[in-house]
Structure 1
Amino acid sequence: MSAPTARRPAFGIMTPPSQVSYDDLLRVWREADALPQIEHAWLYDHLMPLGGDPLGPTLEGWTLLSALAAQTERLRLGLLVTSNRFRPPAVLAKIAATVDVVSGGRLEFGIGAGSRPDVPMARREYAAHGLPFHDAAQAVASLAEACTIVRRLWTETEPFDFAGEHHRLTGAFCSPKPVQRPGPPIMIGGRATPTLRVVAEHADAWNMPGGTVAEAVERSARLDRLCADIGRDPAEVRRSFVLFPAPDDRPAGTRDTVRAAIEGGFDHIVLGLHAPYPDAVVRRLVDDVVEPVLSAAGPGRVVPVP
């Protein structure tokens, strides 16, 4: 394990855009935008509900993200994470560049291989929308190609061809480019070793999608080794942890989990919110969880992490 360093944890919220109205989501994001302790906000990328009424409403993630980008001023924002199975990567690069323009350069580009085959509520959305669902090996290989394509479209000034195993492009070009140069940070979500190899090669940040802190720390150590295998400094890849406290969880338990994640090397913390959202839901999250954790870190609000 490397020597401890001091990193400032960055807190954000996640609001799944399912079983909820646009007006309610907008209210929560505007509240978060006004609270400096909350630095980022996220949606997820599903086309149908994962819980509750299976025929209930689910808003499309990238369309909604662009709307929320136009209605906020400060928050970094993104999807945790985009399913690479849903959209061709060149189209996705164009969508993401547009959102970065709309937001004035605040996009965090979250992407992953797509839903696992062992989640039936997620699996059904592919057949329902006429989308193929390939095996995991193909999905991960497609993700690696997609990351290459997206980066090139954001940075190259002349049209180019791409001949991959899973994606082929002729005369590919993206204009306008993203506001951020050389492009928005790429955050890849996933926990399987093949996906972590793609993280090591392509990502600026890695998100651990669920699981315990102990599991996240073990997977993070695996990512360190995969970075070392290709000669990359593991410290270049920021570590992100998502926590969805149960509605009846006490704040002390959530604070303990957050502190454990930070001590384990995760300095990008995403706190999930459950709909329906009461008034001042983000304010209470800041008062009950974020401020106590930051205050305990002492001057400069940094927390020692390995």
Structure 2
Amino acid sequence: MRFGILTAPMQVGYDEILRVWREADTVPEIEHAWLFDHLMPIAGDPDGPIFEGWTLLSALAAQTSRLRIGLLVTSNRFRPPAMLAKIATTVDIVSGGRLDFGIGVGSRPSHPLARREYDAHGLPYHDQADAVAALAEACTVIRRLWTSPEPFDFAGSHVRLTGAFGNPKPVQRPHPPIMIGGRASATLRVVAEHANQWNIPGGGDIADLAGRSRLLDKYCAEIGRDPAEITRSIFLPVDYERPEVTRGKIAEAADAGFGHFVLGLGNPYPEGVAQWVADELIRR
């Protein structure tokens, strides 16, 4: 079982997030730390502050030395895949090879506070089927940019590149682990083909999430991949007032086969929150 934290970079100051990450970097029980990828707040004051995820991640990479780091998860709708590969390579180098590359299709149109960020930034918003197909091509292109020793062309339905080449390469070889987030069946097929890790939000029924995990096993079998190669990761919000509730969710998820836990910390962050997570949630 591996535990980490997530600090949502909205409605909060940089100094507050930095304080929590620096503390977590000294707590051995916390192995990884995450931000999310939104351009406008999805909770609280809709006009409140929010930081761009990859820029902030690079700053935090330079301020930490042990934690594995990532975004849970990058929206494939926000940045062209070749540009994203370059950004991720830069962060992997800045961190000394500690990046877990999280990616997903992007927010669904059913979440209006997420949808508005596309219109506000002039970004196109395609339907779900289109977005899933684009994610699969993005994963293919990004991995090739990380590993190909020579320039290449790529002519997909969603991504077209001429003379694409990644230099420098990431520190991690053959490339940083790819974590894909999502629960839709079509997304799970992309997970089976491309991911080293799969993450799903754990706020609902654990039995339902276990069913999603079994479906991923099925898709792996269909393409001849060992499902044990894909780490099962779950996001769980932390209840500061009732830590026993969070511990119960961790236990349920572990029984369902999840071994990688991302614990979402609400803001404001209590003093010593990283050590509190270790003492109250992990050790117990």
- TM-score, with structure 2 as normaliser: 0.98
What is residue 247 of structure 2 aligned with on the other side? 255
TM-superposed CA distance for 1:209, in Å, is 2.6
Instruction: Give, in angstroms, the shift of residue 117 of structure 1.
Output: 1.1
Residue 10 (structure 1) aligned with residue 6 (structure 2): no
**1:1-306 map, 5 Å:** 9-210=1-202, 211-248=204-241, 250-292=242-284
Shift in Å, 1:18: 0.3
CA RMSD in angstroms, aligned pairs only: 0.8
Tell me the CA shift for residue 247 of structure 1.
Answer: 4.5
Q: Mind listing any 5+ residue stretches in structure 2 that lack a counterpart?
A: none
Displaced runs of 4 or more, over 4 A: none
Could you tell me which amino acid in structure 2 is paired with residue 51 of structure 1? Answer: A
Give the Å deviation of 1:254.
1.1
Q: CA deviation at 1:260?
A: 1.0
Aligned AA (1:291): R
Aligned residues: 283
Task: Give the TM-score taking structure 1 as reference length.
Answer: 0.91
Gaps of 5+ in 1: 1-8, 293-306
Contact 2:181 2:200 in 1 (8 A): yes
Give the share of equivalent positions with the same residue, in percent.
Answer: 67
What is the Cα deviation at residue 282 of structure 1? 1.1
Compute the displacement of 1:130 (Å).
0.1
Quote the offset at 1:245 in angstroms.
Answer: 2.8
CA–CA separation in structure 2 for the residues paired with 1:158 and 1:166: 22
Counterpart AA for 1:140: V
Tell me the CA shift for residue 279 of structure 1: 0.7
Structure 2 CA distance for aligned equivalents of residues 214 and 119 of structure 1: 24
Deviations 1:103-122 (A, max 9, x none): 00000000000001111100
The one-letter code of the counterpart of 1:245 is V
Kept in 1, the 8 Å contact 2:6–2:35? The answer is yes
Q: Distance in 2 between matches of 1:143 and 1:209?
A: 19
SS at match of 1:199: helix
